[in-house]
Amino acid sequence: MNCKTAQRQMALAVGEDLSPVESQELQGHLQGCSNCQQTWEQQRRGFAMLQRSRTQEIHPKSDSVWPVLANRLREREVESPRGEFNGWFAALAVTAACVLVFVFSQESSFPVASQPRTGSVTGGTMVISPADLRERTSSGPQKEEVRPNRPCNSAP
């Protein structure tokens, strides 16, 4: 065993982490190597320091964490179906919104054949300005009769 191997083995030996065979080999090396003997003593002192600090008592609370934990698990179980429902609800809402957008976009891309080219829609009633009406009547016979918008109190 060379000194480098011995140094590594010493670090294990201080904590009794060597097999009996390895311990014997190391002991054989230490007997004939004063340098490694010094290192061995230092290793032991360092390890002893670590062990002394270990004696600090650690006292977890005497109360078990289980009652709190059991409550948290129960709460999660109660919450989880609602969470699932919320997830489905959100998914359905998004799908419905997508369908509506699609339907409206399809409708707007196909013009209605009977719809006149000019005019505006006010409150669901087609309103054509008198000037438009004059233009349309002067340009030839119209297939559909469009009445100008009149005030409600005026005579027909």
Partner 1 sequence: MMTILEPQSQIDESLHEPSGSSDARLVEAARHGDQAAYGELVLRYEQRLTRVIYRFVHNMETAEDLTQETFLKVYDRLGQFDSSRRFGPWLFRIGVNLTLDYLRRKKRRGRWSLFTDRWKERAPDPPVADPRKALDLQQEVQKVLQMIPENYRTVLTLRDLENFSTSEIAAVLHRKEATIRWRLAEARHRFQYYWGKRHGTVLPENFTPSESAESEK
Please tell me whether residue 32 binds partner 1 under the rule CB under 8 A.
Answer: no
Q: Which of 32, 58, 81, 155 binds partner 1 (CB under 8 A)?
A: 58
Between the alpha carbon of residue 92 and those of residues 15, 54, 83, 102, 130, the distances in Å are 63, 59, 14, 15, 48
Count of residues interacting with partner 1 (CB under 8 A): 49
Please list every residue from 36 through 55 that binds partner 1, using CB under 8 A.
37-40, 42-43, 45-47, 49-54
Q: Is 7 in the site for partner 1 (CB under 8 A)?
A: yes
* Contact between 60 and partner 1 per CB under 8 A: yes
Rounded Cα–Cα distance for residues 44 and 50 (Å): 10
* Count of other CB atoms within 10 angstroms of residue 75: 10
In angstroms, rounded to a whole number, what is the distance separating the alpha carbons of residues 113 and 126? 15
Distance from the first to the final alpha carbon of the chain: 122
| Binding positions for partner 1, rule: CB under 8 A | 3-4, 7-9, 11-20, 23, 26-27, 30, 35, 37-40, 42-43, 45-47, 49-54, 56, 58-61, 64-66, 68-70, 72-74
